[in-house]
Amino acid sequence: MGKRFRDRWEAGQMLAAQLTAYKDRTDALVLALPRGGVPVGFEIASSLHIPLDVLVVRKLGVPGEEELAMGALAGGGIRVLNRDVVRYLHIPDQVIDTAAAREQQELERRERLYRGERPAYNINGRTVILVDDGMATGATMHAAVEVVRQLNPAHIIVAVPTAAPSTCDEFTAQGVEVVALIKPEPFYGVGYWYEDFPQLSDETVRTILERTSLFELGGPENTPPGPNASI
């Protein structure tokens, strides 16, 4: 059936071992998708001595088929639409605007909570390692990739501990490099491949980010809090 990870922390450590080409690279940046991607991203950034930031992305789901993305929102007023889906389903602008307004509120709430007043990293010209704790359909990661592309990175890498093989193939077909430790078939779901897979609270995410000195990660003083830390 394949290996299961003990938890997100272990998965991040193992994933970091596959990304050592980016260790100490001044142009590299880890962007973790909250909530589950943050502990994974923390371990990668800590091991490689490169900065960690969060990318808060809100998928705009098609009404009645929320898993199907008609677009996405990110901080800084970025909105990306999936024109093919919008055209094919004849989705009116009003429906998109209503969904965007609703998701914008949640996006702003999370941005304030996770980052406070600190600005996001400049992505222009950098190698961006997009991290989550796994990918099933990959809808949220697809949205994240489209958002990052708007910000002119030099290179995008999608790094996840586990992913459905067909989802990896979709990213590869779009020219996105994918690093996935296990690609089981059948996939079952992300949580199946972890022995310990708790829901993470916003407070936990914020605490992890605070411990990294969010925008100054890279020194030897930054040691992982680990799953048993009081976070």
Looking at residue 168, what is its pLDDT?
97
Q: Is the dihedral of CA 158, 180, 220, 32 positive or negative?
A: positive
Query: Using 50, 70 and 90 to split pLDDT, how confident is the model at 217?
Result: very low
Asked if the model's pLDDT at residue 229 lies above 70, the reply is no
Query: Using 50, 70 and 90 to split pLDDT, how confident is the model at 169?
Result: very high
Asked if the model's pLDDT at residue 214 lies above 50, the reply is no
Domain 8-57+122-211: top CATH class: alpha beta
Looking at residue 219, what is its pLDDT?
39
Burial tier of 104 (Cβ tally within 10 Å: 0-12, 13-18, 19+): middle
Residue spans per domain, the chain: 8-57+122-211, 59-114
If you average pLDDT over every residue of the chain, what do you get? 88
Mean pLDDT of 157-163: 98
Whole-prediction pTM value?
A: 0.84
**Cβ within 8 Å of residue 221, ≥6 positions away:** none
Mean pLDDT of 183-192: 93
Looking at residue 215, what is its pLDDT?
42
